[in-house]
């Protein structure tokens, strides 16, 4: 019997679910409802569209509409799912003309993603104040940038999207001020690395105001005045508020599914919700952490793709399980790349480990070959049993930081000890590495310190 699969959401999670379902069951009848007109666009690429490095937004499509439809997937663009009735297996849908109709499903996948958090700042509705999550958000920003009169911008929030946008707007020659209420920038890594990042920002003439909370944005004589704690005041033409996202669970609520961590949809590792026949994946769900063996809210593209694939497989009768995330992320900021995987010291302690974090810096490749740069690594391991718990890296964009953090991510997945990292057969040639790669030298530095530091 043909499975009628309805998927709500046409981004990373929804399209991954649809592709996997059709791959495993070519007889399945798959319909994807997408609220906007941009299915399978890489919103991760928006900072590069806004910087002008990827000038044409069409290029951000992971796949074009005909490619998706070529997989036998029915796409209903600008169709918003309004509610779900799990008793009768119907989804209410509003088409572009505003007409309501119903779609019947055997299985439903909810992949509605996330929406930007709007902090309590007065004046968020003023022209020139933006958030950045959808293609539509990027078009409003781009339209303002293309008018050519943006001289100064304020970015509120120094998470990874905030710092990417610092880079993007400086690329356009705009004067940028980054405001963060925490004491350091890029709060996903330790303040020690945040210091180096702030130095890189200073090198690129970015003004950084940490420990500062923005309260108000005022329109004075056609320019925006951003006002915050400690007497902060900055005049700008464009303000970008990027302080995080929250799961979009309105549709899930209408279906009566239970919510879990951070108000995200409660799913098990099969991506099943609490309602029979309804699956969910991506930024709207909580994520199983392999590190803490618990659910956490970790909205990321990498995670959304994997969870969507599991949901799609199971929706057509499979038995897949999401393996869990170790929390790997990487971001480029000017000439630096910052990456992390696993737990930081305080997170490890909160999870019941006995963490030791060791900071070490090495050349990314043999110094006698031109172009060697310093790569800083902070390894966190459990001093009791030597298990690797996390790693943070900061280095030059040519220093293969992303792939090096992935070695640690692989080690975390397999619950390796820090010591065992030295046994990995990693590649070496002088222009790219050393006989002991940085990944391994940092592990050895951790082991040395562990031996020297008594257990407590
Ligand atoms: C600027 C930026 C940069 C990023 N960079 C990275 C990165 O470098 N690496 C990384 O791993 N992650 C990155 N992310 C995060 C990543 O993009 C998200 O984790 C990922 O897109 C989530 O995918 P999703 O499918 O769960 O949801 P979303 O991408 O939020 O998509 C939700 C989908 O649901 C649709 N929808 C919502 N409600 C309805 C409804 N009622 N009816 C029909 N359709 C509906 C929307 O139209 C959309 O198609 C970035 C995000 C942003 C904004």
Write out pLDDT tens, residues 337-357. 999 999 999 999 999 999 999
pLDDT at 13: 98
Interior angle at CA 333, CA 329 and CA 336, nearest 5:
90
Interior angle at CA 402, CA 421 and CA 313, nearest 5:
90
Sorting pLDDT into bands at 50, 70 and 90, what band is 67? very high
Dist. CA 239 → ligand 1 center (Å): 22
- Please spell the DSSP secondary structure of 371-414, one letter per residue: T--EEEEEEEEETTT-BEEEEEEEEETTS-HHHHHHHHHHHHHT
Summary count for the chain: helices (H), strands (E): 11, 25
* Atom 29 of ligand 1, nearest CA residue: 11
Contact 59, 71 (CB under 8 A): no
Average pLDDT over residues 37-63: 97
* Atom 18 of ligand 1, nearest CA residue: 301
Global pTM value: 0.96
Cross-strand partners of 172:
none
Q: What is the pLDDT of the chain when averaged over all its residues?
A: 97
Q: Mapping DSSP to helix (H, G, I), strand (E, B) and coil, where does residue 333 land?
A: strand
Sorting pLDDT into bands at 50, 70 and 90, what band is 435? very high
pLDDT at 456: 59
Dist. CA 11 → ligand 1 center (Å): 6
Percent of the chain with pLDDT over 90: 98
pLDDT at 332: 97
159 pocket-lining for ligand 1 (C-beta < 6 Å): no
* Atom 21 of ligand 1, nearest CA residue: 301
Q: Is 284 a catalytic residue?
A: no
pLDDT of 453 over the 80 cut: no
111 pocket-lining for ligand 1 (C-beta < 6 Å): yes
List 24, 44, 115, 182, catalytic entry: 44
186 pocket-lining for ligand 1 (C-beta < 6 Å): no
337 pocket-lining for ligand 1 (C-beta < 6 Å): no
* Atom 35 of ligand 1, nearest CA residue: 9
12 pocket-lining for ligand 1 (C-beta < 6 Å): yes
Average pLDDT over residues 355-369: 98
- Cα–Cα dist 282/301, whole Å: 8
Structure tokens at 35: 């609220």
347 pocket-lining for ligand 1 (C-beta < 6 Å): no
Sign for the pseudo-dihedral over CA of 229, 234, 235, 238: negative
Percent of the chain with pLDDT over 70: 99
pLDDT of 238 over the 90 cut: yes
Average pLDDT over residues 239-248: 98
Dist. CA 43 → ligand 1 center (Å): 7
* Atom 20 of ligand 1, nearest CA residue: 301
pLDDT at 3: 96
pLDDT at 268: 98
Tell me the pLDDT tens digit for each residue of 126-172. Answer: 999 999 999 999 999 999 999 999 999 999 999 999 999 999 999 99
Sorting pLDDT into bands at 50, 70 and 90, what band is 211? very high
Dist. CA 175 → ligand 1 center (Å): 29
The H-or-E segment that residue 217 falls in is strand 214-220
pLDDT at 455: 65
Sorting pLDDT into bands at 50, 70 and 90, what band is 1? confident
47 pocket-lining for ligand 1 (C-beta < 6 Å): yes
The closest of 142, 140, 115, 147 to 126, measured between CA atoms, is 140
- Please spell the DSSP secondary structure of 187-199, one letter per residue: TTS-HHHHHHHHH
Sorting pLDDT into bands at 50, 70 and 90, what band is 454? low
Average pLDDT over residues 100-109: 97
Nearest atom (ligand 1) to Cα of 165: 1
162 pocket-lining for ligand 1 (C-beta < 6 Å): no
pLDDT of 57 over the 70 cut: yes
* Atom 41 of ligand 1, nearest CA residue: 81
């Amino acid at each position: 019997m043909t499975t009628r699969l309805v998927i709500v959401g046409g981004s990373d999670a929804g399209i991954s679910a649809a592709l996997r379902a059709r791959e495993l069951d070519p007889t399945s009848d798959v319909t994807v409802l997408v609220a906007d007109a941009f299915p399978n666009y890489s919103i991760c690429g928006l900072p590069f569209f806004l910087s002008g490095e990827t000038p044409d937004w069409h290029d951000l499509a992971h796949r074009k509409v005909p490619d998706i439809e070529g997989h036998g997937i029915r796409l209903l663009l600008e169709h918003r799912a309004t509610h779900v009735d799990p008793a009768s297996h119907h989804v209410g849908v509003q088409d572009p003309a505003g007409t309501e109709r119903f779609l019947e499903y055997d299985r439903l996948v909810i992949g509605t993603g996330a929406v930007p958090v709007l902090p309590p700042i007065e004046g968020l509705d003023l022209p020139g104040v933006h958030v950045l999550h959808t293609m539509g958000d990027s078009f409003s920003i781009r339209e303002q940038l293309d008018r050519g009169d943006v001289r100064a911008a304020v970015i509120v929030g120094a998470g990874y999207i905030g710092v990417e946008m610092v880079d993007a707007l400086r690329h356009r020659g705009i004067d940028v001020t980054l405001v963060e209420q925490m004491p350091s920038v890029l709060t996903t890594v330790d303040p020690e690395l945040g210091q180096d990042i702030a130095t890189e920002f200073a090198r690129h003439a970015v003004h950084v105001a940490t420990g500062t909370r923005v309260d108000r944005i005022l329109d004075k004589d056609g320019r925006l005045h951003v006002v915050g704690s400690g007497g902060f005041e900055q005049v700008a033409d464009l303000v970008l508020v990027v302080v995080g996202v929250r799961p979009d669970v309105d549709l899930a609520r209408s279906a009566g599914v239970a919510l879990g961590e951070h108000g995200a949809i409660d799913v098990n590792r099969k991506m099943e919700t609490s309602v029979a026949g309804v699956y969910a994946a991506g930024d709207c769900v909580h994520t199983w952490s392999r590190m803490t063996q618990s659910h956490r809210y970790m909205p990321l593209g990498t995670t959304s793709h994997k969870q969507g694939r599991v949901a799609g497989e199971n929706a057509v009768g499979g038995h897949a399980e999401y393996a869990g995330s170790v929390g790997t992320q990487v971001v480029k900021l000017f000439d630096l790349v910052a990456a992390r995987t696993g737990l930081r010291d305080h997170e490890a302690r909160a999870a019941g480990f006995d963490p030791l974090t060791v900071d070490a810096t090495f050349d990314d490749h043999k110094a006698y070959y031109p172009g060697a740069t310093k790569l800083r690594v902070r390894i966190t391991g459990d001093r009791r049993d030597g298990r690797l718990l996390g790693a943070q890296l900061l280095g030059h964009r040519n220093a293969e930081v992303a792939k090096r953090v992935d070695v640690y991510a692989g080690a975390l997945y397999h619950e390796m000890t820090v010591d065992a990292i030295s046994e990995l057969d990693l590649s070496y040639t002088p222009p790219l590495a050393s006989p002991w790669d940085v990944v391994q030298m940092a592990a050895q530095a951790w082991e040395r310190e562990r031996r020297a530091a008594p257990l407590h």
